[in-house]
Structures are given as C-alpha cells and as structure tokens.
Amino acid sequence: MPTLNPPALTPRPRLPSWLRTPLPSSDTYGHTRALLDALRLHTVCESAKCPNHWECWSRGTATFMIAGDRCTRACGFCAVTTAKPLPLDADEPLRVAEATRRMRLRHVVITAVARDDLADGGADHFRRSIEAVRALNPHTVIEVLVPDFLDKDEAIDAVLAAQPHIFNHNLETVRRLTPAVRSRATYDRSLSVLRKVKARCGDTLHTKSGLMLGLGEADEEVLEALADLRGVGCDLLTLGQYLQPTIHHLPVAEFISPERFQRYAERARQLGFVHVASGPLVRSSYHADEFHPPSVA
C-alpha cells in the first residue's frame, strides 16, 4: 500500500530558499488578469494555485483551462475544485483562440479539468479549441495537456484529429504512490495513453509527460518512471517539486534539492528524452515555449 500520511489538516512546512518566488515585476501581470477576466477564461495557473503564477502572468503567458473549473476527480495533490460540472461552454474555444491572439502567444498550452461525466471526457472540446486557435493563430505552437480520457481510443483520436504539436499527459508520480496521489487514474493507463499517441503519430507530434517529486518516492522509483516513459516513446519531460496547495492536500514528504533535479535531468537525457525541464519550480507548462518543435516554422 502507498505510504503517504493522510492529508487532513497537515501543516505546511517552511519553504527552502530555492522555492521562494518573486512578486509581479511588470504591468503585464495586470494586463493578463484583465484579459482573462474580459474573455471569461479559466487558467490552471490560478485554479491549481501554481507558484509561478506571478512570474508567468508577468511574462504575458498563462495556461488555459477549458471545460469549466469543476473537476470530476479529487486528486490528493490538486487544488482544482471537485464538483458536479456545468455543461460545456460552446463559445469557449473561440475565446481561447482570441486570448491567444491578443496575448501574441507563440506557444499556447491548453489543459482541462477531467470530465468523466462526458462520454468523450471532453475530447471534442479539446479538438474544437485546437482548431479555433489554429484558425486565428496559424503560427502558434499548440500544446495540449490532457486528462487520461479513461484511455478511450475515440477520445484520443478526437484530440489527435486536430493535430496539436505537443500532446502532454502527466504521469504525475511513481508507480507505488499513484493510488494515493491520483484519483481514479492509474499509472499503466497513463502510459497506455502516451503509447497509443506515439504509435498513431510517430515523429509528427511530440509526446510529453511530467512528474511531481517530493511525495516520498525513492531515487530508483523515479528512474523506473523515466524509463517507463521512454519505453512508450515519450519525447519531452518535466520534473518539479510537489507543493501542498492547502492544508487539506497531501503533505510534502521532502524538498528535493536543485542538485538532485539536475541529476535526474542528466539521467533523463541519457535515456533519450529530446527535451528535459527539471527543477524545483518546473511545472508542465512552465516556460513551455523553450521547446520549439523543429517541424514548426
């Protein structure tokens, strides 16, 4: 069985110096806030209480979260609200496209809450969002960060039909800790999703995944997860420190040093990942534009 402590009311420890983040440094933060409000868009930056929120919005970037702000799952690490979702907003893909245009994003990341209440898990809403973004922003790299869609072929194919450049699905944690960390998701199902995407698309698309570290995983478990991801052809990797978003979420077991993140990055590159982002504040979409697919002009 997993060995995490129960999450209930676990006090949050003091952060080490390398995890302290600066406050916004430009007017761009306010502009980003105003634009998102005007277009009635949700972001995972806010909903998941991302520690890079100030920095990314001050750079004029954000990660759009479509299909509402209520998730049908209740993962122990995630601050997104769990509740009965509202119906899909048919105009949302157009507003995501418009925000991408106004923010002049050369790389957009679109994620969503898990919508297990929908037969396709929200996959067609992703397809429509990708198509709308491309129609208005033909030179923008489009990255989707998707839930597991319960590994349904039709859902995966719906997203792929819109030809995103990067298909990101997070493994989140090592095999042993998955049942305690992720609600409903399984380690093997996530690997299966990534395997299917690579089998269908080959080198025409990059697959990407990531892990949160600091939940109590051992070195060898992290290396096993990296090898498993390479085993399904995953191209791009992110590794970051798990931070407890509220006292009701899983506690941090350990703060991983920047040096250890670097060691994992070196090992990942040796395993053949095309691009690796590894550091305490790295998140799936943090500085996502630093990897530019060679196939995109």
Residues that bind ligand SF4 (CB under 6 A): 44-45, 50, 52-53, 56, 61-63, 283, 285-286
The residue among 130 and 180 lying less far from ligand SF4, judged by its C-beta, is 130
Burial of 44 (0-12, 13-18, 19+ CB in 10 A): buried
The residue among 173 and 285 lying less far from ligand SF4, judged by its C-beta, is 285
Tracing tokens 């077991």 back to the chain, one arrives at 253
The residue among 45 and 243 lying less far from ligand SF4, judged by its C-beta, is 45
Contact, 294 vs 166, CB < 8 A? no
Min dist. Cβ of residue 63 to ligand SF4 (A): 4
The residue among 45 and 194 lying less far from ligand SF4, judged by its C-beta, is 45
The residue among 109 and 225 lying less far from ligand SF4, judged by its C-beta, is 109
Rounded CA separation 237/173 (Å):
13
With DSSP H G I counted as helix, E B as strand and the rest as coil, what are the percentages for the chain, rounded to 5? 40, 15, 50
Rounded CA separation 234/247 (Å):
33
Report phi then psi at 187, rounded to 5.
-60, -45
Contact, 264 vs 210, CB < 8 A? no
The residue among 49 and 184 lying less far from ligand SF4, judged by its C-beta, is 49
Min dist. Cβ of residue 238 to ligand SF4 (A): 10
Report phi then psi at 33, rounded to 5.
-60, -45
Min dist. Cβ of residue 117 to ligand SF4 (A): 24
Burial of 40 (0-12, 13-18, 19+ CB in 10 A): exposed
CA neighbor of 276 nearest in space, from 221, 216, 206, 214:
206
Min dist. Cβ of residue 43 to ligand SF4 (A): 6
CA neighbor of 285 nearest in space, from 141, 108, 122, 163:
108
CA neighbor of 195 nearest in space, from 140, 233, 139:
233
The residue among 50 and 180 lying less far from ligand SF4, judged by its C-beta, is 50
How far separated are the first and last CA of the chain, in Å rounded?
48
Min dist. Cβ of residue 17 to ligand SF4 (A): 20
Min dist. Cβ of residue 12 to ligand SF4 (A): 18
Min dist. Cβ of residue 218 to ligand SF4 (A): 26
